[in-house]
Each structure stands twice: as structure tokens, then as C-alpha cells.
Amino acid sequence: MNAVLDWLAALGRAGLGALERLGRGHLLLLGILAGLGPLARRPGLLLQQMNSVGVRSVLIIAVSGIFVGMVLGLQGHYILSRFGAEATLGVMVAASLVRELGPVVTALLFAGRAGSALTAEIGLMKATEQLSGLEMMAVNPVYRVLTPRFLAGFLSMPLLAAMFSALGVWGGWFVGVGLLGVDDGTYWSQMQAKIDLHEDIQNGVVKSLVFGFVCSWIAIFQGYDCVPTSEGVSRATTKTVVHSALAVLGLDFVLTALMFGK
Amino acid sequence: MAPKRPPKRPAARAAAPAAAPAPARPTARPAPPDVLVRVRGLSFHRGRRAIFDRIDLDIPRGMVTAIMGPSGTGKTTLLKLIGGQLRPSAGTVAVDGKDIHALRTGELYALRKRMGMLFQTGALLTDLDVFENVAYPLREHTKLSESMIRKLVLLKLEAVGLRGARDLMPSELSGGMARRVALARAIALDPMMIMYDEPFTGQDPISMGVLVQLIRRLNDAAHLTSVVVSHDVAETAAIADYVYVIADGRVIDRGPPAKVQASGSAWTRQFMQGLPDGPVPFHYPAPSLATDLLPAWGAAAA
Amino acid sequence: MKKLNAHGIEILVGAFVAAGFVAMFFLAMKVSNLGAVTVGDGYQVTARFRNVGGLKVRAPVSMGGVPLGKVVGIHFDDKTFDAVVTMEIDRKHAQIPDDTYAKIYTAGLLGEQYVGLEPGGSDKNLKQGSEIRMTQSALVLEEVIGQFIFSKAQEGSKP
């Protein structure tokens, strides 16, 4: 009997803790968004973060994009050729990239590359009292440290996803047309006939904007909310990657259902 | 070790080397004279644990006040309460006559520009070099020209003896140097007070001596009020004009260093002289050793 | 890590943003239908079919396997009960005879349907608003199978 009560109490505590974290996360988000106004007067801060969040993620995104596209070309050709439908290879590659893989894989890579770095950086700033130090220098650390990082992540994601998709289409073309002998004109024309600017590409961009928002928010919150010790920072970094991945995959399902399910 | 000295009179300050060209700040002083920080009935709880239980403190203007106590008594917490970073569960903290927890954000930030704080680790911004770290508060809060900022920063660095280290990154500094840079940063805006959080922890004797001397010298030269939180008894007692000893959430002793060191309280004597056993027991509370080692015997005894 | 000066960072971030927009532009122009025959860039002709099967708007219109344009509209005529398909043909291909024959084909066994044009021999060419008179409807699989079974049944009942 006692064991059951203890278990219930533990469950309740965990639930309350999660609710409390959720509340803190939303309050932090409000603070971050309130910092957008002051940030507009200091664009240099955003520039720096675009460099460390966006530019430094380009390499991994580009390489992954090309290889994912090449694998899609290979696998797609293998299956489509059984039905004599190699002509639609371009459609398959482009549709899967633009609709799903581009935004989703970019977001997962972003969480691993930039998100974890953001969490670690902010967590270390907290652990080494840099955030408190800013506060005591009468500088709001949310405005000065968090808002530029958040905005940089939010803006970088669609750009990175577009690079991923574009290079993936090219990688699929390289394998399909270059190596496996699909007709060049068919690859592109079929793709152009079936991929819709509004339905496919615009929706993909919307997805990556949502993912950029969520991934940056999670990364920054975990860093800001971490236990300021080396163990706490490392745990927060892990949490960032796990939570971001789950959030991205879950949201992807919801967004896909909203956008494409009629 | 520097001899214990009486509270400096303003006349004595002119003799110390100029640390900074302190601009004459016309400060209206609504607070009662000589008390800069007035703490009344301050309580603070973390979870169910009371860190402070209705403590009263007065920090006199222009002096070095030390707050001593064993580790984990919330000395850093006290500084954060004074700086307005934490909210007390009861009581008030008035800095320069203003109740810090009743201020609006803008007023609090304005007041903080006049309070410097030196963190244990220095808290330098890791992505900026030494020069930029010291220039940071100037760039944030003033509209000075670049050449003016350069002059001010070099003067502040000169005051802590690190003008030559201006191009180093914080990761290239030793712990003591990092604290001195942080000190230069803390005095960049010519504050009215500086709070030092454990300035001597983990320092070798030389950098310890440098810091001890710097704190005293800056206090007297720049007309500062200093609050030093520490458990390094000898160093702190050497520079402090007034000492508070805190333990278990209460002020146990107060007074000039000599008086506190000679205090009759057993606890204070143990703390000031670093005795291993006394009112603070050597053993963490535990059942008797025999009970722990021989459970059967313990059970029989019980 | 090398410390970049402010100008270097500006250049890098500028290149990054530019590359992102180039990628988006590439996706819009080269991958999606925006880059194919665009509205206003060609002339429209109509054709009436008894049955358009699974033909969709944006399906390609091709001659000899080469895409010339796309379907821009499919309507139902209440009077004749025909399906009216509006096609837009690229201005480059203005030399198509007006007795051209239009048929709805299926690309591959499972592929999408498209309109195939077979040129006639007239001297006059199709122009904006022309109607293609000779058409053949889409092949509906159920009809074909139905006819096949019907003819087999007739064969069986003959002797």
C-alpha cells in the first residue's frame, strides 16, 4: 500500500516538476522575444551568432545533404526500375527531400551541431557566473546573450534546410542521371511537373521555420536552466539533443497532417 | 602580513596611488551618514532550509567590511541579495537609501551600475579579450568615444597591474590574473561599492598578497565601499575595518577584527583559529561507530 | 580557434545567407513547377474529351514525348456533358497545326496521365483560344477489362 502511495507521490512530483519547467520555458521565451526590440539596435550581436550557429553548421549540412540525396537516388532507382518508372526518380528524390528529409534531417543535425553547442555555451556561461556578472553590470543577460542566439537559430534553419534539399536533389541527380542512366531531361521535367511551389516547397520552409524556433528554444532553455556544474551542463547538452529530436519528429507528424492531410 | 589598521579617514586616501581618475560624482546622500547598505530582518529560504534567519547588517560607507563564515553558510547568497539578483523571503536590503527589492527593473539596473561585483571565478566573458572585457561596461553604459574608452581601460588595467596583458584571452590568464582583470572591469564605471565574493580562494601566496593589497588600496584611493565575503581568516582580518561572522543563518559576532578574534565565543574562536574540533564537531552526525560496524550488536543494544 | 575580425564575420555570414537564398531560389525555379511553363508565357487552347480519366491540372502536355506545356484547367460542360481541358502551350512552340490530335495517355503502368499531341497536316496553326477538335479520351482500365470480358462471353455463347 505504501509503495503504491510512494509511487503516486513520485509521479505527482515528476508531473509538477515538468509543469514548472514548462512554465519557466515559456517565461524565458517571453523574455527572449521581448529582447528582439533592443536587438534591432545592435545588429552586430546577431551577426556574430549567425556565424557561430549558421555558418559553422554549413559543412555538416552540405555533406549530409549530398549523401542523403545520393542514397535516395540509389534506393529510388532500385525500386522504381522494378515498375519501369525510373522516369519519376526526380520526383521521388525531390518530394522526399523538400517535404520531409530536408527540414527534418536538417533540424536533427542542427540540434546535434548547433543546439548542443548553444546549450553548452550558455550553461558554461552560467556555471562560470558570466550571466550573473552581466546582470551585476546592469546588462540583461537574456537580451544580450539569449535573444541573438535564438534569432540566429530561427533564421539559420530554413537557409540550412534549403541548402540541404538543393544539394540532395543534386546528389540524386548525380547518382540517377550520372551513374544509373536516367534521362537528364526526364529527371528535371518530371520533378518540375510534380513538385508544387506552394504545396511542397513553401510547406517545407514553414516546417523548417517551426523546427528552427523549437530547436533554438529548447537549446537555450536547457542551457539557461541547467544546474551550473560541469555535470549539469553535460546533462543539459544531452537533454537538448534528445528533446529537440523528439520535438522535431513529433511536430513533423502534426505539421504533415495539417499540411498534406485533407 | 599587513598590520591591522584603524578605519581610514578621508585625508589618508590622497596618499594612495591613484587607481582611476574618479570623476567627482555629485551624490545626494539621503541615507543616514556612514551606512551604505542596511540589511534588516533578512530571511532567505532555499526549499525548506533557512539560509538566513532574520539577520541585521550595516555596511559603513568608505570602509572594508568583511563577512566571514564557514563554507555553505550562504555568504555568496548574501551578496546576491544585496545586488538584487535574489529575492528575500522576508526583510529589506537598502543600498544608498533605496530598498533594492522594491525598485523597478530600470531603477535597479541604474543602481547596479554603481555597484561592482567580483565573482569567485572572475566571470570574464570568455569570447572577449582582456581589453574588451574591461571596456564592456563602458561600451554598454556610456557613449564615450573610442579613444576615451581606450584611455579609461588602460588606466583601470594599470591600477591592477595588467596593462601589459590587454591582448590576452581569459583562457590564457591564471586565476589570480583573471580576478584582477575582473576587478578592473568592476571599477570601470567608478562604482560606489564593490562586493568581493571569496577573492582569496585557491590563490597562491603571491597573488593572494597582490589581491589583499589591491582591495585595500582601491578602497582608499577610489573612495569605495568594499564588502569582502571570505573564509580566509588571516587575509580578510588583515584588510577589514569591520567584521561580521555568520553561521547557521545568524550573525554570531561583529566588530573590528581584533575584537572578534579575541572574542570569548567558543564558536568564533574555533573558526578564527581554525581548530579541528570544537562547537563545530569533527564528525558528521552519525550513529555510533559500533552500531555501524556490528549491526547485530547494535540491534541487540537497541 | 582563429579569431575573426568583424569584417571577416560579416563576409562569412553574408555568404551563408546568400547561399541559403540561392538554394531556395534553386528549389523554386529548378525543382518546382514555377520554373516550368509559367502562366502568361504561352497561349491557351482547349480540347473536349468524353472522359479525362485521372488527368490533373498541371499535368504535362507533350508532343513526341517532349513537354510543350501543361494543363491549366479542367471544367465540365453542363450542356454537352464533355470535359473541357484548357492547356497552356509554350510560346516557343507556336507552329502546331490546328488539326492536331489530342489524346490522354498514361506514363508507364502506374504513372500519371498526360495529354499527348500528334501533329496533323493543316497549314494553319493553333493560336490563343483555339479548340483542338480531334480528341481521344483516356483509357479507363475498368472499361477495357469490361469490354474484354464481354467479348469473351460473346465468344463463349456463339457455338
What proportion of chain A, given as a percentage, has pLDDT over 90? 58
- How close does chain A come to C115, measured CA to CA in Å? 13
- How close does chain B come to A2, measured CA to CA in Å? 24
Question: Taking Cα atoms as reference points, which of B35, B4, B1, B59 lies closest to residue B254?
Answer: B59
Edge to edge, the sheet with strand B115-118 lists B115-118, B193-197, B225-230, B64-68, B242-247, B250-255
Whether C12 contacts A51, CB under 8 Å: yes
What is B173-235 written as a DSSP string?
A: S-HHHHHHHHHHHHTTT--SEEEEESTTTT--HHHHHHHHHHHHHHHHHTT-EEEEEES-HHH
Cβ partners under 8 Å of residue B111, min gap 6: B84, B95, B96, B98, B100, B103
Residue in C closest to A202 by C-alpha: C28
pLDDT of A162 > 70? The answer is yes
pLDDT tens per residue across span B99-115: 888 888 888 888 888 88
Amino acid C127: pLDDT: 83
Whether B103 contacts B113, CB under 8 Å: no
C-alpha cell at B134: 574591461
Give CA separation, A99 vs A84, B101, C22, in Å: 24, 52, 18
Amino acid C159: pLDDT: 55
Residue A231 phi, psi (nearest 5)? -65, -40
pLDDT tens per residue across span B211-248: 888 888 888 887 888 899 888 888 888 888 888 888 88
Which of the residue ranges B61-75, B278-292, C136-150 would you say has the lowest mean pLDDT?
Answer: B278-292
Amino acid B28: pLDDT: 46
Has this prediction a pTM greater than 0.80? no
Chain C residues within an 8 Å CB radius of A55? 12-13, 15-16
Say yes or no for a CB contact (<8 Å) between A138 and B109: yes
C-alpha cell at C121: 497536316
Say yes or no for a CB contact (<8 Å) between A137 and B120: no
Residue in C closest to A199 by C-alpha: C32
Query: A-side interface with B, Cβ within 8 Å?
Result: 124-125, 128-130, 132-140
Strand runs (DSSP E) across A89-137, as ranges?
A: none
Whether C45 contacts A185, CB under 8 Å: no
Which residue from C6, C30, C33 is facing A193, i.e. has the nearest CB? C33
Using CA atoms, how far apart are residues B38 and B101, in angstroms rounded to an integer? 13
Residue in C closest to A49 by C-alpha: C13
Amino acid B24: pLDDT: 44
Using CA atoms, how far apart are residues C111 and A42, in angstroms rounded to an integer? 55
Using CA atoms, how far apart are residues B94 and B110, in angstroms rounded to an integer? 15
What is B114-176 written as a DSSP string?
A: TEEEE-TT----TTS-HHHHHHHHHHHH----HHHHHHHHHHHHHHTT-GGGTT--GGGS-HH
Q: Give chain B's mean pLDDT.
A: 79
Number of Cα atoms under 13 Å in the Cβ half of residue C115: 35
pLDDT of B12 > 70? The answer is no
Residue A111's pLDDT band (boundaries 50, 70, 90)? very high
pLDDT of C10 > 80? The answer is yes
